[in-house]
Amino acid sequence: MNEFLFPIIVLTIFIPVVLTITFIPYWTRRTESFGVTIPQKIYPSDELKKMRKQYAGYTSIFALLLLIVLFILSRDTSEQELGIQLTIITLLYLTASFLIYLKFHFQMKKLKEKRNWNEGKSERLFISTNFHQDKLRYSNLWFLISFFITFIVIFFTFKNYHLLPERIPMQYDFSGEVTSWADKSYRSALLFPVLMLYMTLIFLFVNTIISRAKQQIDSEDPEKSLKQNAMFRRRWSLFTIIGGISLTSLFAFAQASLFFNFSPAVFMIITLGFTVLFIGGSIYLSFTTGQGGSRIKHGTMSKDGKTINRDDDKYWKLGVIYFNRNDPALFLEKRFGVGWTINLARPLAWMTLLLIIGFAMLIPLLFS
């Protein structure tokens, strides 16, 4: 095994997954804890602080143990074997971390029932009728840059198709060696441009969802919550646009490498650099922004302590799966984590998700 391969894979794949999972309780809203609705004033209590630290500790220790196992298994193995091992180890970690989450989720539910935090408080749902009329995202017109790059690449590919070699490299290892080839054809030549078009549409779709997803406003201080949520959406919108254009440019460089004698090592360095920046940027944004903008400092919170957000725990299965037939919303904020999820009670929502996954699996089969 290449001596540089193990640290590269660990730093670009496994460690980001661990960081994301470990710090989720610190990124979620202060009105939610392990998928359970709580009064905001309870969030900084010593009891809940201890639970968050325990969760972070358990997931970190388990990640370290799996990392040691991966290091032992990866000695004198090929890159393909290491990829399989990493996939298995990552799936084990995701499964174990979810089980750890469930432990604290059920513990949180029992604690809420025992302490009866909602007693003497009125539940209130705050809705802003003009919230979605505000500027919650940056314009989708920015994706015209990605579309322009894509169509330029498609035009260039057709015009210079005769310059392509008879066998087209489709996959490289970390040493820059080709591990997968495809015979020259218009299908194989258009794989990267089609992926560019698909990814641009996905990023455009995400940017649209950012502005249209269901609003979630803290009833204790709706004005501050509205500002935080708007900033949260705008930050992720900007990240989505930059990420989409950057990924399109990366695929364009990959397509150009088929025609020009670019060093595979250079391409791998650029790919790894993009991966590190994209994942690192998303983690940094999660740290500084939090779910719904909960980590954004925007004035002081004015609480009367007499009202709390409406308790909708019954619609959140295990605290992470939203199923509410009475809610017309297709997309809404995650309860445990950062980002958005779907309302599984709405067929259009999960059909859209299945369609996205289906195309992602179908494109490589059709064009390789």
Q: Is residue 179 a contact partner of residue 171, using CB atoms and an 8 Å limit?
A: yes
Q: Is 224 helix (H, G, I), strand (E, B) or coil?
A: helix
Within its chain, how far is the Cα of 213 from the centroid?
A: 16
Is pLDDT above 90 for 275? no
Of residues 269 and 105, more confidently modeled: 105
Burial class (CB in 10 A: 0-12, 13-18, 19+), 15: middle
Percent of the chain clearing pLDDT 90 (strictly above): 47
Strands 36-37 and 32-33: antiparallel
- Of residues 130 and 101, more confidence is placed in 101
State the Cα–Cα distance between residues 98 and 283, nearest whole angstrom: 19
Tokens 């969802």: give the residue: 209
What's residue 242's pLDDT? 96
Residue 198 pLDDT more than 50?
Answer: yes
Arithmetic mean of pLDDT over the chain: 86
Distances, alpha carbon 270 to alpha carbons 205, 245, 255, 265, in Å: 26, 15, 14, 9
Q: Please give the average per-residue pLDDT across 345-363, as a whole number.
A: 91
State the amino acid at position 65 in one-letter form: L
What are the structure tokens assigned to 324, written together?
Answer: 């509410």
Instruction: Please state the rounded mean pLDDT for residues 331-341.
Output: 92
> In whole angstroms, what is the distance from residue 291 CA to residue 334 CA?
8
Taking CB atoms within 8 Å and a gap of at least 24, the contacts of 279-283 are: 279/12, 279/16, 280/16, 281/239, 281/243, 282/239, 283/16, 283/19, 283/20
Return the pLDDT at 218. Answer: 79
Please state the pTM of the whole predicted model: 0.87
Residue 153 or 130, more confident: 153
pLDDT bucket at 290, cuts 50 / 70 / 90: very high
pLDDT, position 7:
72
Please report which confidence band the pLDDT of residue 41 belongs to, taking 50, 70 and 90 as the band edges: confident
Q: Give the number of other CB atoms < 10 A from CB of residue 260.
A: 8
pLDDT at 121 over 70: no
Worst-scoring range by mean pLDDT, 4-13, 48-57, 152-161, 332-341? 4-13
Report which of residues 175 and 339 the model is more confident about. 339
Winning range, highest mean pLDDT, from 40-54, 211-225, 353-367: 40-54
CA distance 329 to 214: 6
Mean pLDDT of 289-312: 72
> Among 81-85, 100-104, 229-233, 236-240, which stretch is predicted with the lowest mean pLDDT?
81-85
Q: Where are the domains of the chain?
A: 1-119, 128-307
Question: In 116-221, where does DSSP find H-type helix?
Answer: 144-159, 186-189, 191-212
Residue 1 has pLDDT above 50, yes or no: no
pLDDT tens per residue across span 236-269: 999 999 999 999 999 999 888 888 877 777 777 8
Is residue 6 within 8 Å of 82, Cβ to Cβ? yes
- pLDDT for residue 52 is more than 80: yes
Tens-digit pLDDT profile for residues 205-240: 999 999 889 888 877 778 888 888 999 999 999 999
Mean pLDDT of the region 57-82: 85
Residue 186 pLDDT exceeds 90:
no
